């Protein structure tokens, strides 16, 4: 501290103690602006030691461009009095800026000169908080203004204290006077005016003011209300919400309006789609069921009731998940559930027991509905009566594998049966035989009495041949008047097998020679034709694995031609190791 300053402090003893102990920054400044005395608190505010300030001009703490005017202010104050106080932005020793608030007083020293005593408080921290508060206020406003919801805040009297951009726009768009918003305005009055100006015929939204009054009074914490607000060109819906902010004093009520037209339209579209789907399901020809995850029906359509013969309630609330399958054992039912669970657009076939119509085949196609966690929530099942389909399938099967005239297996099925027989022969090491039969002189019957007569004979021949063999044997028609008989499992011994095959061939021949009574139709009249017939038979014995189906048939055919050549109405055997040919006629 300079000698002059020390002496001043000596002279200013009444201030000395105050200055040193004061938490306030205090300084004494001479007319020319020189610090006469500076306390620690003062110097600290500016980042100096008191000794670094004393003897220097107080202008050191101000930016250069302000110094001249501040010195004038300082000197005017000392010369003419008045007040000198205010907030200042000052420079610290390290070049950073601080904010201070100061008060000045004029003190006269013992030497008779006036000096300015300045009290300074550092308000940088306060200014920082204020700046942060302001920033967060601006941020909150920006966020609220950016919301598409129309928001406004009311006091307990219902006066709008704040409104966001969306609300103001909505208010003006709906005919509100922008001037109103410049002064305190009652929200309820605006509502009443808006309700009054609504087109006639629109639904009443008067519930809203009543509810809002209850929130303003504090009788209700909050409420929510959906209301229509259509324009001449657009149908619109809004949701209004009012919410009393808890723990806020003075009381504040937030009111918001959201345009939910898009949501409402989507909901209506969804409802329409659901109504349509329900109608569709109702009018479906196929049975339709929604099953829960434990396979219990939760929805069935009328077709399902018709198909099963059960009422809707008996299907939905039955103890048994599928009462029309009551004949099913637990094991079979579990199997069905497993199939339903596993089914991916694959048909599950089962038999429905209709209480009146009896049993019929049905098929079920199942798809799964999952919840958000990917767990099966429901099964959607469509059920079809497949009686007709089965009939057609059987018919196709019959046409593909059976002879249309006689109902006997045709050439294709004959091959399958012979292969099957060969596998059996291989398994049991038994011989089998193929008998190839061709009717003798069949053509003249056709020529003289017509095709129907020939057909009748072929049908009767088929019946007689079938009567000569076991059910496990096969009688097939190759075409025309040619038949093939497969005898499976004769004997392990070749000789014995020859003998057995010969007996069967003979039995067949005898059977075929019994006179036929053929019914001949001529318009309305019918007459019986007595007819005699015989057959030439070729027999090929076989034993797997030595023989193949095609070879066996060929050998039987050759033997049959041999029988024809030898004068018909006889049986010829094809060669069989040891090479030999035998004939019973
Ligand atoms: N009615 C009828 N005739 C048929 C059918 N398929 C073929 N035919 C006739 O059956 C006859 C068979 O002739 P063949 O076996 O050659 O004559 P066949 O008089 O029996 O002479 P052989 O066998 O040598 O004794 C032909 O006239 C065919 O038109 C049929 O489904 N119905």
ipTM confidence: 0.95
> Is the confidence at residue 395, as pLDDT, over 80?
yes
Q: Which atom of ligand 1 is nearest to the CA of 443?
A: 19
* Selection from 318, 278, 279 nearest residue 297 by Cα: 318
Q: Which atom of ligand 1 is nearest to the CA of 454?
A: 1
Strongest mean pLDDT among 149-153, 398-402, 501-505: 501-505
Q: Region 179-195: what's the mean pLDDT?
A: 77
Tell how far the Cα of 103 is from the centroid of ligand 1, in angstroms. 139
Q: Give the position of tokens 């004093």.
A: 249
Q: Region 243-262: what's the mean pLDDT?
A: 89
Tokens of 529: 């034709």
Q: Region 457-480: what's the mean pLDDT?
A: 95
Q: Region 176-201: what's the mean pLDDT?
A: 70
Q: How confident is the model at residue 12 (pLDDT cuts 50, 70, 90)?
A: very low
pLDDT digits (tens, 9 = 90+) for 227-242: 887 877 888 888 889 9
Tokens of 560: 């049959």
Torsion of CA 207, 212, 218, 224, to 10 degrees: 70
Tell how far the Cα of 196 is from the centroid of ligand 1, in angstroms. 102
Percent of residues, the chain, with pLDDT higher than 90: 51
pLDDT score of 345: 55
> Is the confidence at residue 201, as pLDDT, over 50?
no
pLDDT score of 200: 46
Q: How confident is the model at residue 196 (pLDDT cuts 50, 70, 90)?
A: low
Nearest CA residue ID for atom 6, ligand 1: 480
Q: Which atom of ligand 1 is nearest to the CA of 452?
A: 1
Considering only 216-220, 343-347, 562-566, 580-584, which range has the smallest mean pLDDT?
Answer: 580-584
> Is the confidence at residue 261, as pLDDT, over 60?
yes
> Is the confidence at residue 403, as pLDDT, over 70?
yes
Tell how far the Cα of 442 is from the centroid of ligand 1, in angstroms. 5
Q: How confident is the model at residue 484 (pLDDT cuts 50, 70, 90)?
A: very high
Tell how far the Cα of 447 is from the centroid of ligand 1, in angstroms. 10
Q: Which residues have CB under 6 Å of ligand 1?
A: 405, 438-443, 446, 451, 454-455, 458, 480-481, 564
Tell how far the Cα of 202 is from the centroid of ligand 1, in angstroms. 91
| 160-163 vs 150-154, strand pairing mode | antiparallel
Nearest CA residue ID for atom 21, ligand 1: 441
Measured between alpha carbons, how far is 388 from 386 in angstroms, rounded to an integer?
5
Considering only 199-208, 312-321, 329-338, 486-495, which range has the smallest mean pLDDT?
Answer: 199-208
* Selection from 358, 363, 372, 383 nearest residue 299 by Cα: 383
Q: Region 158-170: what's the mean pLDDT?
A: 88
Considering only 281-285, 478-482, 520-524, which range has the smallest mean pLDDT?
Answer: 520-524
Q: Which residues contact 511 (CB under 8 A, 6 or more apart)?
A: 464, 465, 467, 468
Q: Which atom of ligand 1 is nearest to the CA of 455?
A: 1
Nearest CA residue ID for atom 17, ligand 1: 443
Q: Region 454-458: what's the mean pLDDT?
A: 96
How many Cα atoms occupy the beta-carbon half-sphere of 368 within 13 Å?
A: 18
> Is the confidence at residue 421, as pLDDT, over 70?
yes
CA 185 to chain centre: 50
Tokens of 223: 């409420």
Tokens of 153: 């805040």
pLDDT digits (tens, 9 = 90+) for 276-285: 988 988 899 9
Tokens of 167: 């609300």
Q: Which atom of ligand 1 is nearest to the CA of 453?
A: 1
Nearest CA residue ID for atom 13, ligand 1: 443
pLDDT digits (tens, 9 = 90+) for 534-549: 999 999 999 876 678 8
Domains of the chain: 3-128 (3.30.450.20), 147-264 (3.30.450.20), 288-390 (3.30.450.20), 402-573 (3.30.70.270)
Q: How high is the mean pLDDT of the chain?
A: 87
pLDDT score of 112: 86
Tell how far the Cα of 439 is from the centroid of ligand 1, in angstroms. 8
C-alpha dihedral sign at 184, 189, 193, 194: positive
> Is the confidence at residue 210, as pLDDT, over 50?
yes
Q: Give the position of tokens 């048994």.
A: 320
What's the Cα-to-Cα distance from 391 to each of 352, 353, 387, rounded to whole Å? 16, 18, 6
Q: Region 87-97: what's the mean pLDDT?
A: 93
Tell how far the Cα of 527 is from the centroid of ligand 1, in angstroms. 22
Strongest mean pLDDT among 19-28, 140-149, 322-331: 19-28
Tell how far the Cα of 515 is from the centroid of ligand 1, in angstroms. 19
Inter-residue contact 238 to 264 (CB < 8 Å): no
C-alpha dihedral sign at 488, 489, 490, 493: positive
């Amino acid at each position: 501290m300079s000698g002059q300053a020390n002496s001043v402090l000596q002279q200013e003893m009444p201030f000395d103690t105050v200055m040193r102990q004061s938490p306030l920054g205090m300084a004494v400044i001479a007319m020319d602006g020189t610090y006469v005395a500076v306390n620690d608190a003062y110097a600290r505010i500016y980042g100096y030691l008191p000794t670094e300030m004393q003897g220097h001009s107080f202008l050191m703490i101000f930016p250069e461009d302000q110094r001249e005017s501040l010195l004038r202010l300082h000197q005017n104050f000392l010369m003419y009095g008045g007040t000198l106080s205010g907030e200042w932005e000052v420079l610290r020793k390290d070049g950073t800026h601080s904010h201070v608030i100061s008060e000045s007083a004029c003190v006269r020293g013992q030497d008779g000169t006036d000096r300015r005593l300045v009290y300074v408080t550092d308000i940088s921290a306060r200014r920082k908080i204020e700046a942060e508060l302001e920033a967060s206020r601006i941020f909150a406003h920006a966020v609220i203004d950016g919301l598409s919801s129309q928001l406004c805040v009311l006091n307990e009297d219902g006066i709008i204290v704040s409104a966001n951009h969306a609300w103001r726009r909505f208010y003006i768009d709906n005919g509100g006077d922008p001037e109103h918003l410049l002064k305190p305005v009652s929200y309820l009055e605006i509502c009443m005016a808006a309700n009054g100006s609504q087109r006639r015929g629109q639904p009443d939204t008067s519930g809203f003011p009543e509810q809002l009054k209850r929130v303003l009074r504090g009788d209700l914490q909050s409420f929510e209300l959906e209301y229509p607000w259509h324009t001449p060109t657009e149908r619109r819906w809004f949701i209004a919400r009012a919410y009393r902010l808890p723990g806020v004093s003075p009381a504040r009520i937030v009111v918001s309006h959201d345009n939910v037209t898009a949501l409402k339209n989507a909901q209506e579209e969804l409802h329409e789609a659901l109504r349509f789907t329900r109608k569709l399901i109702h009018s479906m020809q196929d049975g339709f069921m929604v099953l829960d995850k434990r396979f219990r029906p939760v929805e069935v359509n009328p077709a399902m009731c018709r198909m099963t013969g059960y009422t809707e309630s008996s299907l939905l609330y039955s103890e048994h998940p599928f009462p029309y399958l009551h004949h099913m054992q637990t094991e079979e039912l579990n199997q069905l559930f497993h199939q339903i669970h596993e089914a991916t657009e694959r048909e599950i076939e089962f038999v429905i027991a209709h209480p009146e119509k009896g049993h019929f085949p049905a098929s079920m196609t199942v798809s799964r509905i999952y919840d958000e966690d990917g767990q099966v929530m429901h099964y959607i099942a469509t059920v079809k009566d497949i009686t007709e389909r089965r009939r057609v399938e059987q018919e196709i099967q019959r046409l593909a594998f059976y002879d249309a005239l006689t109902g006997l297996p045709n050439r294709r099925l004959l091959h399958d049966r012979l292969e099957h027989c060969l596998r059996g022969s291989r398994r049991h090491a038994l011989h089998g035989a193929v008998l190839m039969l061709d009717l003798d002189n069949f053509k003249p019957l056709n020529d003289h009495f017509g095709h129907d007569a020939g057909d009748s004979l072929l049908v009767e021949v088929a019946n007689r041949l079938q009567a000569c063999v076991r059910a496990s044997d096969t009688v097939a028609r190759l075409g025309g008047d040619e038949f093939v008989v497969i005898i499976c499992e004769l004997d392990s011994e070749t000789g014995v097998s020859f003998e057995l095959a010969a007996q069967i061939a003979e039995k067949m021949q005898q059977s075929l020679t019994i006179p036929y009574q053929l019914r001949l139709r001529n318009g309305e009249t019918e007459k019986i034709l007595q007819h005699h017939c015989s057959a030439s038979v070729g027999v090929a014995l076989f034993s797997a694995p030595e023989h193949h189906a095609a070879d066996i048939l060929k050998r039987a055919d050759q033997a049959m031609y041999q029988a024809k050549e030898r004068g018909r109405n006889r049986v010829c055997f094809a060669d069989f190791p040891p090479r030999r040919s035998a004939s019973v006629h």
